[in-house]
């Protein structure tokens, strides 16, 4: 038989444990406290309104219909140094739906860039990102996929979600942002663009962390409407590994350098242009570079390659030509005049239209760091030789191989 005092002791212990548990749970809850959902974006200027400073863009006369952002779906492929910040910015802006694709896990080695935190090490990047982003803005619809998009099965599923995973199930997403760090994934995204109709295509251009270190990253985006579907393939890389394989570079750890600054700037420029494009304000940049060493920001427009060996690209090009022909003459003429061809008739038939003046290029040509053998930096010195064309040419073989690989999938 137990004594009354023993029972009292046990009951006191229970009360103590219950208190401790309540405290621990409230602390845990504090971290998980995400605000309640908001049905309709309000422009009310109060501290409790998470949308007040975004809706103020309307009052300022910058954006006509900010609420429209809730109708769009954006896919972010690659949730690394650029993709994670890109996803966070879109989430905070109140995008309708976000699809995230990645197959990596968070590592302590990722802590040199924004977004992921040490306590998330070991989690998959999409899982960790979804949890953080959902807490930040529960109004956004999230769909995350933890797989490598370049394997056969995954690529099929990836293509399916891009073409049907919009806010209205069955409808395509509005934009795909390529924030990946390797050629294979970039080519997979490019291939998808050829299959899916009626959606816009957008790219963040960064072929490897190498670019960050060399201080330059390219942001490129191509509206299918105004260009070919293979524009990704045709876009000239900023840093070119000649005679060495990208994988070799990475394996040796040479490519592992990156900075939160460069990544943040590129993500910011990417999402800024996404917002301008979706919400129809300002001027959208189709190709924008950032050379961190010199604070130099070259921009370009691209024209499709009439000799492209991709049939979908050619179909796209002829459709575009027909559309252009149907437009009033004067408008087309103006566009023509604005563009100054820097160099045509390179081996790829790509016309690069530079928006950078000779003076600007001269001003930007400062000291260039010593780089490992076989690596050169593009766009730091004035174009006298067709440098950009040459860089594309150098990587031609591996691109062809990759495209062939994609088609065989």
165 - beta bridge partners? 171
Query: Can you tell me whether residue 353 is helix, strand or coil?
Result: strand
Nearest residue to 78 via CA among 146, 178, 200: 178
Kindly state the smallest distance separating residue 354's Cβ from its own copies, in Å.
Answer: 10
CA 388 – CA 395 distance, rounded (Å) = 11
Question: 261 or 307, CB closer to its own copies?
Answer: 261
CA 168 – CA 326 distance, rounded (Å) = 32
Kindly state the smallest distance separating residue 409's Cβ from its own copies, in Å.
Answer: 30
Query: What are the backbone angles phi and psi of residue 141, rounded to the nearest 5°?
Result: -90, 130
Question: 18 or 400, CB closer to its own copies?
Answer: 18
Q: By rule CB under 8 A, what count of residues binds its own copies?
A: 105
Among 37, 40, 109, 153, binds its own copies (CB under 8 A): 109
Among 137, 233, 317, 387, binds its own copies (CB under 8 A): 137
Residue 248 makes contact with its own copies by CB under 8 A: no
Residues between 215 and 234 with contacts to its own copies, criterion CB under 8 A: 215
Nearest residue to 394 via CA among 230, 250, 241, 182: 241
Name the maximum alpha-carbon separation found in the chain.
102
End-to-end CA distance of the chain: give it in Å, rounded: 75
Per-residue binder mask for its own copies (CB under 8 A), 313-332, x = binder: --------------------
Residue 259 makes contact with its own copies by CB under 8 A: yes
CA 275 – CA 290 distance, rounded (Å) = 19
Per-residue binder mask for its own copies (CB under 8 A), 199-218, x = binder: ----------x---xxx---
Spatial contact of 232 and 204, defined as CB atoms under 8 Å apart: no
C-alpha distances in angstroms, 212 versus 113, 217, 348, 366? 12, 6, 27, 17
Spatial contact of 358 and 382, defined as CB atoms under 8 Å apart: yes
Residue 4 makes contact with its own copies by CB under 8 A: yes
- Interface segment toward its own copies; rule CB under 8 A; list 72-80, 167-175, 198-206, 359-367: 359-367
Residue 67 makes contact with its own copies by CB under 8 A: no
Measured from the Cβ of residue 299, the count of other Cβ atoms closer than 10 Å reads: 14
Query: What are the backbone angles phi and psi of residue 99, rounded to the nearest 5°?
Result: -110, 130
Alpha-carbon dihedral angle through residues 55, 58, 62, 64, given to the nearest 10 degrees = 120
Q: 200: phi > 0 → left, psi -120 to 50 → alpha, else beta; which?
A: beta
- Interface segment toward its own copies; rule CB under 8 A; list 13-21, 324-332, 387-395, 397-405: 13-21
Question: 159 or 371, CB closer to its own copies?
Answer: 371
308 flagged as catalytic: no
Question: 82 or 192, CB closer to its own copies?
Answer: 82
Among the listed residues 234, 255, 308, 313, the single catalytic one is 255
Among 75, 93, 179, 208, binds its own copies (CB under 8 A): 93
- Interface segment toward its own copies; rule CB under 8 A; list 188-196, 267-275, 316-324, 329-337: 267-275
CA 163 – CA 337 distance, rounded (Å) = 37
Kindly state the smallest distance separating residue 299's Cβ from its own copies, in Å.
Answer: 6
Residue 293 makes contact with its own copies by CB under 8 A: yes
Kindly state the smallest distance separating residue 79's Cβ from its own copies, in Å.
Answer: 16
Residues between 21 and 60 with contacts to its own copies, criterion CB under 8 A: 21, 24-25, 27-28, 30-35, 45-54, 56-57, 59-60
Kindly state the smallest distance separating residue 18's Cβ from its own copies, in Å.
Answer: 6
Among 196, 371, 403, 406, binds its own copies (CB under 8 A): 371
Q: Which residues are catalytic, by number?
A: 255
């Amino acid at each position: 038989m137990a004594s009354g005092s023993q029972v009292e002791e046990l009951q006191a212990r229970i009360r103590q444990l219950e208190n401790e548990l309540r405290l621990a749970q409230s602390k845990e809850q504090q971290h998980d406290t995400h605000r309640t959902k908001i049905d309709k974006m309000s422009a009310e200027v109060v501290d409790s309104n998470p949308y007040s400073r975004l809706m103020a863009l309307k009052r300022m006369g910058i954006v006509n219909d900010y609420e429209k952002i809730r109708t769009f779906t954006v896919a972010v492929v690659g949730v690394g140094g650029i993709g994670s910040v890109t996803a966070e910015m879109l989430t905070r802006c109140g995008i309708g739906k976000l699809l995230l694709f990645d197959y990596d896990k968070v590592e302590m080695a990722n802590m040199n860039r924004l977004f992921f935190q040490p306590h998330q090490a070991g989690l998959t990047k999409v899982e960790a990102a979804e949890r953080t982003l959902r807490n930040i803005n529960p109004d956004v619809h999230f769909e995350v996929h933890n797989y490598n998009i370049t394997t056969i099965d995954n690529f099929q599923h990836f293509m399916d979600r891009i073409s049907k995973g919009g806010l209205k199930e069955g409808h395509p997403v509005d934009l795909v942002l390529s924030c990946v760090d390797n050629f294979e994934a970039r080519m997979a995204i490019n291939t998808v663009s050829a299959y899916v109709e009626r959606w816009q295509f957008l790219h963040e251009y960064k072929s490897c962390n190498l670019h960050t270190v060399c201080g330059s990253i390219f942001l490129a985006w191509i509206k299918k409407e105004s260009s070919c579907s293979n524009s990704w393939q045709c876009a000239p890389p900023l840093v070119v590994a000649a005679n060495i394989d990208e994988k070799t570079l990475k394996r040796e750890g040479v490519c592992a350098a990156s900075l939160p600054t460069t990544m943040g700037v590129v993500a910011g420029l990417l999402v800024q242009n996404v917002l301008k494009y979706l919400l129809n304000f300002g001027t959208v940049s189709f190709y924008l570079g950032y050379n961190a060493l010199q604070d130099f920001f070259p921009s370009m427009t691209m024209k499709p390659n009439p000799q492209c060996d991709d049939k979908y690209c050619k179909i796209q090009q002829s459709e575009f030509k027909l559309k252009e022909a149907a437009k009033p003459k004067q408008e087309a003429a103006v566009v023509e005049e604005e563009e100054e061809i820097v160099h045509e008739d390179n081996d790829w038939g790509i016309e690069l239209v530079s928006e950078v003046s000779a003076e600007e290029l001269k001003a930007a040509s400062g000291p260039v760091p010593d780089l490992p053998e076989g690596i050169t930096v593009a766009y730091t010195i004035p174009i006298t030789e067709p440098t950009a064309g040459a860089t594309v040419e150098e990587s031609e073989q591996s691109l062809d191989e990759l495209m062939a690989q994609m088609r065989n999938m």
